[in-house]
Amino acid sequence: MQYNKLFVSDFSLLHTYSSGQTLNFAGALEQKKYFLHLSATTPYSAFDINYAASGSASGTLYWRYRGLLGEKEAEEELRQLLGVYTGVRSIYSKLEKDKLLKKAIDEFYGMRVVKADPWQTAVCFIVSQFNNIKRISKTIGLLINKFGKIENGAKLFPPPESIARASKASLLACGLGFRASYLKDFASGIVEGFDLSSLYKLSYEEAKKELMQFKGIGDKVADCILLFGYGKLEAFPIDTWIKRIVEREYLHRRSSLKQIHEFAAERFDGLAGYAQQYLFQYARKSGLYARR
Domains, in order of start, for the chain: 4-107 (3.30.310), 118-230 (1.10.340.30), 240-286 (1.10.1670.10)
Query: How many whole angstroms separate alpha carbon 167 and alpha carbon 99?
Result: 51
> Average pLDDT, stretch 11-34?
81
Of 26-30, 59-63, 150-154, 243-247, least confident by mean pLDDT is: 26-30
Q: What is the pLDDT of residue 142?
A: 94
Residue 156 to residues 97, 205, 230, 282, Cα–Cα distance (Å): 42, 31, 20, 33
Give the DSSP letter string of 204-232: HHHHHHHHTTSTT--HHHHHHHHHHHH--
pLDDT for residue 292 is more than 60: no
Q: What is the pLDDT of residue 190?
A: 97
> pLDDT band at 137, cuts 50/70/90?
confident
Q: What is the pLDDT of residue 65?
A: 96
Residue 30, phi then psi, degrees to nearest 5: -150, 155
Q: What is the pLDDT of residue 24?
A: 64
Torsion of CA 136, 141, 144, 146, to 10 degrees: -110
* Percent of the chain topping pLDDT 70: 98
pTM of model > 0.85: yes
Taking a C-beta distance cutoff of 8 angstroms, is the pair 61, 5 a contact?
A: yes
53 torsion bin: left (phi>0), alpha (psi -120 to 50), beta (else): beta
* Percent of the chain topping pLDDT 90: 83
Counts of helices then strands in the chain (DSSP H, E): 14, 7
Taking a C-beta distance cutoff of 8 angstroms, is the pair 276, 260 a contact?
A: no
pLDDT for residue 254 is more than 80: yes
Q: Which residues are 60's β-sheet partners?
A: 7, 52
pLDDT for residue 28 is more than 80: no
Q: What is the pLDDT of residues 79-107, one digit of tens each?
A: 999 999 989 999 999 999 999 999 999 99
Query: How many whole angstroms separate alpha carbon 51 and alpha carbon 34?
Result: 9
